[in-house]
Chains A and B, each alone.
Chain A
């Protein structure tokens, strides 16, 4: 009972944060409130037993998304205009509210027809879900059933998602490289000024980064037994690189350039697809890791295969996120 109430409390806080983020006048403040919104949603996912989702949301929503938004706002909105003007609000808002009423009625009607939350006999728990829960550990060797579903049973889906992420990175590059971005104000928007110049922050972040890398590796390798995996590890790795860029200066002053990030972004899906094709060559189905000729137990071979594709996911996610950060943060001095 108590966890139901806690879940509802966190959901309520999320709604409050969402409304506040949309209403507060200062855009930068809105972004920070939006980060709090992500944090509360991560807490909500923990209460709902969705540890992997919470892990991802905490790393992505509360960290990376906030950094992306701040970069974009710094690039686009002069300080005096952060405070938005209300122009058409007067007649627009009642109309929109009126439109929302039928939507609300339909959604409430649908909610009343759904099974109550926590019903273990409802439709989502039938068909494949009990099979995954009962057979997952034996067949894939992964105690973490989310990893079993993500990387083994639904390997095709995950390959598709990784391709979408890769496409997003390439799309960012294409948006940047177009020629007709002629600005009326050439002097403005030369990229976000990096580096805070404080030796304390510099030293602290440099101290932190090796541990972040260690943690990312642990999250990847231990994703079979505990919450974690390629997506979370990749996001943590990208966060460490972005941290260094924010504190020590942009892409130019880093040994890890945008081109390296692009290479990683390409290598990830390639590794994933390569393992799929390799299992095809050794007589299995596409992404059927059990067919790989390794001198190990069949389950262990599957674990190795899963680890391989999770590594591909991690490398790809790291590359794409750093690439997107570079394109958002530095427009003119980006060479890619």
Chain B
């Protein structure tokens, strides 16, 4: 495995977020906690995409008007930004649906703990 260079540390931390979320989803027994872990995973993906859009010495992708001709300004890449912006709003709506399902599970089985729920399903 080749070594991680300094410019790639961000990817490592994004991967760390992803793994923390994955670990939470595997280990935590409370469903609310699992959902939180899933959101952490989602943010890990968003961080990765935004990291790909950075340009060293660049500016936010908002065009500076009346700039002198010939002085090209380096903008960050607007395409991943647009995609991730919508992804964030979609993630909050899907989290809402998941929470509604959790409330429904709780009202039916009176628990949100994975082990207890499995016990009650077997009954």
Query: B-contacting residues of A (Cβ < 8 Å)?
Result: 7-8, 11-12, 14-15, 18-19, 21-22, 27, 30-31, 34, 37-38, 41, 44-45, 48-53, 56-57, 60-61, 64-65, 68-69, 71-73, 75-77, 84-85, 87-89, 92-93, 96-97, 99-100, 103-105, 107-120, 122, 124-125, 128-129, 132-133, 136-137, 143-146, 148-150, 154, 157-158, 161, 164-165, 168-169, 171-172, 175-176, 178, 180-185, 189, 225-227, 231, 235, 317, 320-321, 324-325, 327-328, 331
Among B77, B82, B92, B103, contact of A125 (Cβ-Cβ < 8 Å): B77
**Contacting B36 at CB < 8 Å: which of A22, A56, A71, A175?**
A22
Q: Distance (Å) between the CB of B6 and the closest chain A CB?
A: 8
Sample (25) of A-B pairs whose CB atoms are under 8 Å apart: A11-B47, A22-B24, A22-B36, A48-B51, A48-B76, A51-B60, A87-B113, A88-B29, A96-B23, A104-B19, A111-B4, A112-B3, A119-B56, A124-B52, A129-B78, A146-B61, A146-B85, A149-B82, A150-B85, A161-B90, A165-B90, A168-B94, A171-B100, A178-B104, A324-B93
Alpha-carbon gap, A72 to B104, bound state (A): 10
Cβ contact within 8 Å between A52 and B81: yes
A76-B102, A154-B82 known; A180+B108 contact, CB < 8 A: yes
User: Which residues of chain B are within 8 angstroms of A331 by Cβ–Cβ distance?
Assistant: 103, 107
Given contacts A117-B54, A226-B62, contact A164 B93 (CB under 8 A): yes
A-B contact count (CB 8 A): 315
User: Which residue of B is nearest A143, CB measured?
Assistant: B63
The SS class assigned to the A binding surface is helix
**CB–CB B112/A150 < 8 A:** no
Chain A min CB distance to B79 (Å): 5
With A65-B92, A185-B110 already in contact, the answer to whether A118 and B13 are too (CB < 8 A) is: no
Q: Which residues of B contact A45 (CB under 8 A)?
A: 50
Inter-subunit contact B88/A53 (CB<8 Å) = yes
User: 3 tightest CB-CB pairs across the interface, nearest first?
Assistant: A116-B7, A118-B56, A168-B93
User: Does the CB pair A107–B62 fall under 8 Å?
Assistant: no
Nearest-CB distance from B74 to chain A (Å)?
6
Q: Are A137 and B63 in contact (CB under 8 A)?
A: yes
Provide the residues of chain A in CB contact with B97, threshold 8 Å.
168, 171-172, 175, 324
Seen from chain B, the residues whose Cβ lies within 8 Å of a Cβ on chain A are 1-24, 26-30, 32-33, 36-37, 39-40, 43, 46-47, 50-63, 65, 74-97, 99-104, 106-108, 110, 112-113, 115
Per DSSP, chain B at the interface is helix
| Distance to closest chain A CB from B89 (angstroms) | 5
- Chain B nearest CB, measured from A119 CB (Å): 7
Q: Inside 8 A of A14's CB, which chain B residues have their CB?
A: 13, 17, 43, 47
